[in-house]
Structure 1
Amino acid sequence: MKIKNILPILLFLVSFSFYAQNDKDDEKREKIKAYKVSFLTTELELTSTEAEKFWPIYNAYDDKQFELRHEKMKTYLRKLKDDNVNSLSEKEASALLSQIESTDKELYFLREKYMSNLRKVLSAKKILKLKKSEDDFNRKLLKQYKEKAAKN
């Protein structure tokens, strides 16, 4: 059986197990990550040489992006919840805004470095295919999440 035939089955099983269990956040993230790896592997049709160079770049980028978005932004969002904005002084609000802008810049430079590294490994066409595949994956994941939420 070819890997192209096995991967869709694996994707289904991973997605099913993802929703069938109520694990901790880290375990859920790992399951989503495994599902994403399977999905992207199928969609990108990477050669073994490309895959060997691509995945370390992609994983490093994905981990750093997650850290920036979820760890730093979570702190900012906590301060913005409810009516906390009204209780901030102008100086505190300005400092928070500066921190958010700084994180946005970090994300931008991270993405720029990531794209530069990808260009050394993949063709422009495959990079565009990667972008489309990531968007497709996110839509599919959101759809599954909505379907699960509708059942509960």
Structure 2
Amino acid sequence: MPTSPEHPRADFSLVFPPDPTWVRTAREAVRTALRTANRPDLTDTALLLTSEAVTNAVTACLHSGCAAPVTLYAEWAALGTLRVLVSDDAPGMPSPRALARATTDTENGRGLFLIDSCAADWGVCHHGPGPGKAVWFQVGGAGT
């Protein structure tokens, strides 16, 4: 997206260890990007989904013993859409069954359910050549 007063270019990345204390830092980085772009309308959803995606990546790393860093990348796409991608090198892919099992009463395992429910679009892809995956989501767009 071209830089404009309404949506300045605010792409960024953040690389951090798989440690739960970094979830807040990742969330605050996204908050800063939204503030810079003057998009308070996206803040609540983007911060919730960032927390969920980063927590899932950190948890996957901790449970698998993977010490490789987690990466968050955010970019402004067409029509004021914020795209956030969180990648980790932990083995395994999120299961579609996790979406079916998650309920509003479930305390854990609701990250993908929330991303699926709240994002304008989202997905999961394997990155390689080794283990690892990236979960991405988009919020915003025309009319938001």
TM band (smaller chain)? 0.3 to 0.5
The structure whose RCO (Cα within 8 Å, separation 6+) is larger is 1
In our comparison, the structure showing a higher alpha carbon Rg is 1
